[in-house]
Structure 1
Amino acid sequence: MVLGPPGLRVLSSDATRLAVWGDPIAHSRSPQLHAAAYRVLDLEWSYERRRVDMATFPEVLASLDHGWRGLSLTMPLKAAAFAAARTRDGRARLTGAVNTLLLTADGPHGFNTDVPGIVDALGDEGVTSVGTARIVGAGATATSALVALAELGSHHVQIVARRPEAIAELVAMGEEVGVTVAAAAWDEPRLDDVAVTIATLPGGAQVTDAAADALAAHGGFLLDAVYGHWPTALGAAWDRTGRPAASGLGMLLRQALVQVRIFVAGDPDVPLGDEDAVLAAMRDAAMGD
């Protein structure tokens, strides 16, 4: 799969400004992670945090001058960034979500780094292939989780969501990537044993202990996309049952590393020079908060 548009490897040396946008945004650790990476790379780039909502996104994006190199986008801007991108990588096209914009003279180029972030975060936990899996939630992050599971070889994924109609898009996406998607409601989860569960619910989502314990009992390893409200209700259930679980901090770290690759060289798949040192510095920054 060709993920990036051609001709992006050489970027203007005077484009040094970067930022993460979203609403809310005060909780974001992206500035610490990116600042750590650019120190190791000896790049005098700035990386800011700015609250931008859906209504103001087009105007604020259009106001950026040639000094801007790229943007990280969090909720609720991933669909808007997808629409604004002049080109999109393969993962963005599959998911309909862009969380990274590389800003060039010919327009913004969109990437989805959440997918490799999930793949690599699971790899860090020793999960390098997946047969059957479960996704809890059916929002924007669930689309990236589904594509990530397909990349890891998953052939059957169950989606547990409160709104069954929200699963229809994931069923169609599953057909496109060769994964059978089945739905289960919260109040009647027909649960089979799976190797991996990826939780994509917001940090404050209400989950009953009974539902959480049922998911944990049949859920294998848990990767929860939340990192700011840990443990979540699901994380606590996995702990009660003695099953392995990880917060979304590893996913955040790994997707940010792929963003750094894009901002440095325009390619999500080309490792940085001394990437091990960059990753170590980013991990230290993440753990320091």
Structure 2
Amino acid sequence: MSLLRFAVIGNPIQHSLSPEIHQSFAEQIGIELEYQRILGEPLHFKQQVTDFFQQGKGMNVTLPFKGEAFQLADIATERCRQAKAANTLWQNQTKLYADNTDGIGLINDLKRHTSLHNKTVLILGAGGAARGIIYPLLEQGIKQLAVYNRSTERLQILARDFPDIAPVQYNQLSRPFDILINATSISTTRQSIELPDVLWSAQPFCYDLAYQRNGLTSFVAEAQLKACQALDGLGMLVEQAAEAFAIWHGVKPRTQPVLEMLRR
């Protein structure tokens, strides 16, 4: 019998830990599967997805294709429609289904380390990564959710789609927040985000949606230099993967053993 086929598609993709994570989940449950990395091609993304689902069972989607993956889907979950971005695809008969497990993945990891209730939160970035986490954060009873982005046009579009957020420009970053979340891709380019000192003054809890297998992302390194508690997104990666695994297999795997393995 041929193995169940799964994949993650993105560009770049060679660094993805998703194959290791899903194989570890499969060992927990006692099933065998194949999980590959696919280098996404912007001009051929739709065809790549179509080709994969000739035999494939499920696909994870990472940068920069989450918005396009949502548009491809015939049926999307409510949280996927809210985000207008998909990170989990599967096929049922001839229909392509989409979900977004990023938000619940972030919440599950954040709750390990900090309380969200009545906190003020600032998201850095207004792209697909930010879209996937806004409603899940709002559902946690936070006091305020502000979003900063260098491009005001993209920020205005986000504010139109999410009327409960407070869009802020650089000159409005004049007071501290309890939690800072980096949803930009700047950590993957090894650059740092220029932020006013007042944001660091209250030593906010800092979370980077990006992750490094070895070492620190630039955002985490900068936050630690400012004496802030800071985490990268490896825990979120494992948690969102567990949600996707449960969608495909009907069983929720344990995440802590996998996270500990990856941190070693």
TM-score (norm 1): 0.82
Which of 171, 176, 184 is the aligned partner of 2:159? 171
Equivalent pair of 1:200/1:224 in contact (CA under 8 Å): yes
Q: Does 1:118 align with 2:130?
A: no
Q: 1:19-58 to 2 correspondence within 5 Å?
A: 19-58=7-46
Query: In structure 2, do the counterparts of structure 1 residues 197 and 95 end up closer, same or farther at CA, with 3 Å as the change threshold?
Result: same
Which residues of structure 2 form unaligned runs of 5+?
none
Residue segments in structure 1 that go unaligned for 5+ positions in a row? 1-12, 266-270
Higher mean C-alpha deviation, range 120-129 or range 226-235: 226-235
Letter in 1 for 2:256: A
Aligned partner of 2:262 in structure 1 is 286
Partner of 1:131: 119
Query: Where do 1:1-289 residues align within 5 Å?
Result: 16-65=4-53, 67-175=55-163, 179-185=164-170, 188-202=171-185, 203=187, 204=189, 206-207=191-192, 211=195, 213-218=197-202, 220-228=204-212, 230-265=215-250, 272=252, 275=253, 278-288=254-264
> Partners of 1:145 and 1:130 in 2: how far apart?
17
Alpha-carbon distance in 2 for matches of 1:109, 1:14? 23
DSSP 3-state at the match of 2:255: helix
1:90-125 per-residue CA deviation (whole Å, 9 max, x = no partner) reads 111001000100122132110001110111111111
Query: Residue 164 of structure 1: CA displacement?
Result: 1.3
CA contact (8 A) 2:203 2:226 kept: no
Whole-Å separation in 2 of the counterparts to 1:174 and 1:130: 19
RMSD across aligned C-alpha pairs, in angstroms?
Answer: 2.2
Give the 4+ runs in structure 1 shifted more than 4 A: none
Report the CA distance between 1:51 and its aligned residue: 0.4
Distance in 2 of aligned mates of 1:96 and 1:70: 19
Aligned equivalents of 1:82 and 1:14: distance in 2?
A: 29
Aligned length in residues:
261
Q: Say which is worse superposed, 32-41 or 152-161, in terms of deviation.
A: 152-161
